[in-house]
Structure 1
Amino acid sequence: MLFFLLLTIIICVLVMFYIKWVKVRSYWAERGVPFDPPNPFLGSLTFLMRKNPSLWMRDIYERHRSRYVGVWLFWRPALVVNTPELARNILVRDSGNFRNKFMTASTSDPIGSLNLLLTKDPAWTGIRKRVSLAFTSSKLKSVQAVAAAKSLDLVTRIHEEGVAEISLRTMFSDYTTDVFSAASLELDSNTTLTGEGAVRDITKEIMEFSLPRGLAWCAIFFWPDMAELFRVNFLPKKSTDFLRRILRAKFKAKSVELNKDPKTVLEILMQMMRKSQDQEKAYSEDCIMAQAAALLVGGYETTSSALTYITYLLAHSPRQQEKLYQELLVAEEKHGHHNMEGVIADCQYIDCVIKEALRMFPPMAWLDRVALHDYKVDDSLTIEAGTPVYVNGVGMQVDPEFYPDPYTFDPERFTAESIPYTYMPFGDGPRICIGKRYAMITLKNAIAAIILNFEVLPCPNSPKPAEAEIQKKGLFLMPGEDLKVKFISRK
């Protein structure tokens, strides 16, 4: 009797499962939206750990060639939008309905749930307004000075390593971590030269892939309910604790006045902490730590990846490299080699080179949002409140309609303005990357210093840039193999 009871329960559960699945799988078909049939367990996410999400987004774009495509995040319907018009609507015109990102960390992890990358409105608005004070033109002067100094350390390191093949991503991760350490946290650091440092220990751990960390990030990006259920952490606990100790030591050693204009990220964070203490913890210590973690994660690896691809592309593009060198040389003769700010400001082509590299290899140009209310996408489709929406910037950036011969490195295409909302490596709208200008300063100083001092050559038998492997298990568009070049001194 018990056996038949259990069998009946199992059959009922399976029938209920099947009925629910039929409803889920027919969701986009009933709304007349193009889609690929979902997997009954993973939905559209069968690519995870096998293909980079940016390549998946490109595939969707090229395969469907439609205004939007329906996908499933496991069993949750989501919409991928593929046109500049819809991108503008979601990111700017109707941003009030899409003010939050879909990806979310567990509330049990304040470093994840309270940071600027993942937190929701209204908390996000207050934090963004406060932290943005560190990224004004006057504040970025100090970043320029640090980046110029660290870029000279890059030149020294390359000279010391000689003409051997140099692993780009490791070297540039040392550099970008060093710039962040010195410019944002006011830490004495020689990571560019040595590859070692307090903050570098954190970024090395973040860069190391493990199955638990991969599953954690997949949950944060694509299944927030599961991230909440399993109390997923934004950063490894060891890294979080280490960062906390560093910041507590800096807060203890440095004083800051509340009525004084802050000059660095550290001073912004210290003022937030002081005001929290005076205003009954408006910003907790965890919230302060969360912003430092977000700025570190959001900046060091994306910038080091961009530098890797820029250098690699220039090594395989001698004509473009020579043009950049000649323009930098003219600017250096005009401003002097000690005035790197003037040199890079006077070289228009360096902007074109960086923009073109970020067009081809954007660290993350698929932008997630979630609809707060039912939303009319067009006359044919209205999506329900709570529907995740992805703006497929990475697909539009290689569309030959917008960028002819899109997989060819052609910086000259950016001598003219691109079509709005077809180029979004830093995002757009209210949630545009807060560190965009910070990143550009870091990129320009490194590239200018390298090209003025070295001719960059490809290594024998190295893959062409468009054929180089992309990281499969990560969520950002990063190199999946160790890209190397040769540096030949110009002097």
Structure 2
Amino acid sequence: MDRETDRPRTVPTAPGGLPLVGHLPALVRGRVSFLQELRGRGEIVRIRLGRHPTYVVNSPELLHRMFTVRADSFGKGRFFENMRPYMGNGVATSEGDFHHRQRRLMAPAFHRVRLESYVALMRREAERMTSRWRPDHPIRLDHQLHHLTTVVVARALFSTSLTDRTATRIVLATDAFVRGVAWRVLAPDALERLPTPANRRFLAERALLQEIIRDLVADRMRTPGDDGDLMAALLSAREEGTDRGMTAEQLHDEVLTLLLAGSETAAGTMSWLFHELGRHPTVERRLRAELDEVLAGRPVTAADLPRLVYTRRVVEETLRRHHVNWILTRRTLHGVRLGRYWLPADAEVLYSITAQHRDPTLFPDPLRFDPDRWETAPPKHAFTPFATGPHKCLGAHFVMTEMVVVVATVVAAWRLRPTPDPVRPVATMVLRPNALPMVPERIASS
């Protein structure tokens, strides 16, 4: 068995690289399927994206080491660096000591006890969404879920100081901004500087979203507002030993980060979840039976969440089968040993949680949607929907709570039938459905 004291091995190179462009065409063409194919070529495999060597980490154990005991040897990498000019230096894109400081300042805002108070907000927004549905009239559920998740994060941040008009402006600007950022993260740098109509629209939407956030942050810095919202926690956060809080610029970047990350992940995951329920009526019936038993016709509360065991399994299986973060990066800060391999300094490292969650050696029959697989624990380090270690998603519990509450609220009262339109994955910044038209059907009260 290899030990880290043994002589390091050379990382194998994947076949099929082309002159000049390397494996970039294969990645662009295949996206997740290309990354899944690489998993059979070793714990770490070397590819070239253009002229740049890139190391793809496939082993769950090595990823865990990269996230935890070797975390200080890795920076965020190209994916996050490309987002920084657009998203600012928030906790998702910042690095080093500044990242650790921001994370410590923000952590109390996401304490589990505090987040339980947002269950009513999550349920209320889900009820507002479904109140606009008309039985047997098709809806674009993916659009409506993005609206819902954006408003939930915005109202959790700004509580009663956020008007309906401002919430709608945030939703529209955020949606356009996310689509524009996705293209810029993946496209060659030179293309974003061209004076095209699409680039001009993106810059205008970015300016509008930044203006809205700056106005909201400035208003809350002048007036205390609601002590129970996330913004109050961020404003009151102080660095131990210096009593320094966040500047207006830091607050702006963190609010923008929370709006984008909090809406996109939850909306994409729930879109896939309702798609799977439409394809698996047996799962839907079992889910509704649990809701009938636990809730008995009343609205879901924080106290109900521990009893919604099957509901949570449906969410977890969706996070496994359809994890939206299909490609993420790190970069070595110096030469580093990872398992039995040596990675040179300034090496780009790529990994795919989506591909890992679909690995048949970790999850038998991985493309089958089966919530019952969660009756037993998965292999160690195999299921990492929110990463782990010092870069674990701060909003993991918020997002999980939101998805369980929204699913419980919708499924208890509505059945969503799929339409004949094909639903296929689109891999941009996240892996989302191309569209999710569904037909709502009200459940008769028992």
State the distance in 1 between where 2:440 and 2:138 align: 8
Instruction: Give the match for residue 78 of structure 1.
Output: 54
- Does residue 430 in structure 1 map to residue 413 in structure 2? no
Q: Is the 8 A contact 2:11 2:44 kept in 1?
A: no
Instruction: Give the match for residue 265 of structure 1.
Output: 230
- 2:71 paired residue among 84, 95, 102: 95
Residues 1:267 and 1:239: Cα distance change in structure 2 (over 3 Å): farther
- Does residue 470 in structure 1 map to residue 446 in structure 2? no
- 1:143 paired residue among 97, 108, 118: 118
- Does residue 250 in structure 1 map to residue 205 in structure 2? no
Residues 1:283 and 1:317: Cα distance change in structure 2 (over 3 Å): same
Amino acid at match of 2:32: S
- 1:414 paired residue among 374, 388, 391: 374
- What are the within-5 Å matches in structure 2 for residues 52-201 of structure 1? 53-61=31-39, 64-98=40-74, 100-105=76-81, 109=85, 112-158=87-133, 161-186=134-159, 187-188=161-162, 190=164, 197-201=168-172
- What are the within-5 Å matches in structure 2 for residues 199-218 of structure 1? 199-208=170-179, 216-218=184-186
Amino acid at match of 2:439: K
TM-score w.r.t. the length of structure 2 is 0.85
State the distance in 2 between where 1:249 and 1:357 align: 37
Percent pairwise identity: 19
Residues 1:372 and 1:409: Cα distance change in structure 2 (over 3 Å): same
- 1:354 paired residue among 315, 320, 333: 315
Per-residue CA deviations over 1:109-137 (Å, capped at 9, x if unaligned) read 4x534121111111110111112221111
Amino acid at match of 2:18: N
Q: Which structure has the greater CA radius of gyration?
A: 1
State the distance in 2 between where 1:84 and 1:49 align: 24
How far residue 230 of structure 1 moved from its aligned partner, in angstroms, is 6.5
State the distance in 2 between where 1:81 and 1:32 align: 10
Q: Is the 8 A contact 2:299 2:409 kept in 1?
A: no
Residues 1:107 and 1:311: Cα distance change in structure 2 (over 3 Å): closer
Q: Is the 8 A contact 2:290 2:308 kept in 1?
A: yes
Aligned residues: 429
Any gaps of 5 or more consecutive residues in structure 1? 1-29
Residues 1:477 and 1:215: Cα distance change in structure 2 (over 3 Å): closer
State the distance in 2 between where 1:448 and 1:189 align: 26
Q: Is the 8 A contact 1:328 1:343 kept in 2?
A: no
Per-residue CA deviations over 1:54-104 (Å, capped at 9, x if unaligned) read 34322322xx34222111232221111112221222112222212544434
State the distance in 1 between where 2:226 and 2:130 align: 34
Instruction: Give the match for residue 6 of structure 2.
Output: none
Any gaps of 5 or more consecutive residues in structure 2? 1-8
Q: Is the 8 A contact 1:178 1:190 kept in 2?
A: no
Residues 1:34 and 1:252: Cα distance change in structure 2 (over 3 Å): closer
State the distance in 2 between where 1:360 and 1:106 align: 27
State the distance in 2 between where 1:365 and 1:486 align: 29
Q: Is the 8 A contact 2:80 2:329 kept in 1?
A: no
Residues 1:152 and 1:280: Cα distance change in structure 2 (over 3 Å): closer
Per-residue CA deviations over 1:253-274 (Å, capped at 9, x if unaligned) read 446799x9964332244346xx
**Alignment RMSD (CA, Å):** 3.4
416-425 or 182-191: bigger deviation: 182-191
Instruction: Give the match for residue 46 of structure 1.
Output: 25
SS at match of 2:124: helix
Instruction: Give the match for residue 317 of structure 1.
Output: 280
How far residue 413 of structure 1 moved from its aligned partner, in angstroms, is 0.4
Q: Is the 8 A contact 2:362 2:382 kept in 1?
A: yes
Q: Is the 8 A contact 1:331 1:344 kept in 2?
A: no
